[in-house]
């Protein structure tokens, strides 16, 4: 696991974008694994800048997102479909048919889950962007999830629903379930870039870098991956000094 410590969120975003820009220059038809949440927003802004400067194109790029809430309309501002279009896809030349986001709406969600997992089996993600929850979760794989887990429907914990309540009008609107890539799917990416920023993640960083590999801290499995870069800002790194 390669650790890069940077000054702040902006530096983290620039560093991560550099890695993605390099990837797209070397392989214009890359398959990217993408994430939602606060951590990647700045990276997406940098990628849009690089696109506008003519440094990179997304015209041959394919993307696979980590997760999506169940039962939420794609036009809902809190759907991850909406998030990805608003923060990246609407601003670059990606083809909609090359965008893959778990779909967990309407009837037969189990079938949609199986289809997404099969789609993941048919490709090899070149580079996966990841955030981390303060409890070590990656995507919606909460502590206790098997390292062998593939794409599944997860019931969100009360804590996660409470954490995400701020984005909705009330707790009743927060979805109860989500579809998420499993840890095994995430580990199959050729390379992984994880972003960690802010003082609220300082204990998370300590556990990730010093702790044992255990299912009670899902991100710890990344120590077993051969190509992981973790970009951490100084506030998040403070307990390591």
Q: Strands 2-6 and 62-65: what pairing?
A: unpaired
Residue in 46, 67, 126, 150 annotated catalytic: 67
Shortest approach of ligand PGA to residue 173 CB, angstroms? 18
Q: Give the Cα separation of 32 and 23 in Å (integer).
A: 9
Shortest approach of ligand PGA to residue 84 CB, angstroms? 14
CA 136 to chain centre: 13
Q: Which is nearer to ligand PGA, 98 or 202 (CB)?
A: 202
Instruction: Based on the shown chain and the rule CB under 6 A, indicate whether residue 141 belongs to the binding site for ligand PGA.
Output: no
Q: Which is nearer to ligand PGA, 98 or 165 (CB)?
A: 165
> What are the backbone angles phi and psi of residue 64, rounded to the nearest 5°?
-130, 125
- Total residue length of the chain: 241
Stretch that binds ligand PGA, among 52-60, 85-93, 129-137, 177-185 (CB under 6 A): 129-137
Write the binding mask 106 to 125 for ligand PGA: x where contact by CB under 6 A, - elsewhere.
--------------------
Instruction: Based on the shown chain and the rule CB under 6 A, indicate whether residue 131 belongs to the binding site for ligand PGA.
Output: yes
Q: Give 240's DSSP letter.
A: G
Q: Give the Cα separation of 182 and 193 in Å (integer).
A: 17
Binding test (CB under 6 A) with ligand PGA, winner from 25, 27, 28, 38: 38
Stretch that binds ligand PGA, among 37-45, 76-84, 174-182, 203-211 (CB under 6 A): 37-45
Let me know if 142 is a catalytic residue: yes
Binding test (CB under 6 A) with ligand PGA, winner from 42, 133, 182, 218: 133
Let me know if 10 is a catalytic residue: no
Binding test (CB under 6 A) with ligand PGA, winner from 10, 14, 19, 37: 37
Let me know if 29 is a catalytic residue: no
Residue in 46, 126, 142, 150 annotated catalytic: 142
Cβ-contact 179, 152 below 8 angstroms: yes
Q: Which is nearer to ligand PGA, 59 or 64 (CB)?
A: 64
Q: Give the Cα separation of 85 and 70 in Å (integer).
A: 18
Cβ-contact 193, 170 below 8 angstroms: no
**CA-wise closest residue to 140 among 162, 164, 128, 156:** 156
Count of Cβ atoms closer than 10 Å to residue 132 Cβ:
25
Distance in Å from the first CA to the final CA of the chain: 18
Let me know if 126 is a catalytic residue: no
Residues making contact with ligand PGA (CB under 6 A): 37-39, 131-133
Which residues carry out catalysis? Answer: 67, 135, 137, 142
């Amino acid at each position: 696991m390669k650790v890069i410590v940077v000054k702040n969120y902006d530096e983290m975003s620039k560093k991560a974008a550099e890695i993605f820009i390099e990837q797209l220059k070397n392989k214009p038809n890359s398959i990217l694994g993408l994430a939602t949440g606060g951590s990647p927003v700045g990276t997406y802004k940098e990628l849009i800048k690089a696109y506008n400067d003519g440094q990179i194109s997304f015209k041959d790029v394919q993307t696979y997102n980590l997760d999506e809430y169940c039962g939420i309309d794609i036009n809902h501002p809190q759907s991850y479909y909406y998030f990805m279009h608003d923060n990246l896809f609407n601003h670059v030349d990606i083809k909609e048919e090359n965008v893959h986001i778990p779909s967990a709406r309407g009837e037969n969600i189990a079938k949609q889950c199986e289809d997404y997992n099969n789609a993941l089996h048919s490709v090899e993600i070149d580079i996966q962007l990841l955030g981390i929850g303060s409890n070590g979760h990656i995507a919606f794989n909460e502590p206790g999830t098997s390292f062998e887990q593939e794409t599944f429907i997860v019931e969100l914990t009360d804590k996660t629903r409470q954490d995400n309540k701020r984005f909705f009008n009330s707790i009743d609107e927060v979805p109860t379930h989500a579809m998420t890539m499993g840890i095994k799917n995430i580990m199959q990416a050729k390379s992984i870039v994880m972003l960690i920023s802010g003082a609220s993640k300082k204990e998370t960083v300590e556990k990730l870098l010093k702790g044992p590999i255990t299912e009670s801290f899902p991100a710890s499995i990344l120590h077993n991956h051969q190509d992981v870069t973790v970009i951490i800002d100084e506030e998040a790194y403070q307990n390591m000094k």
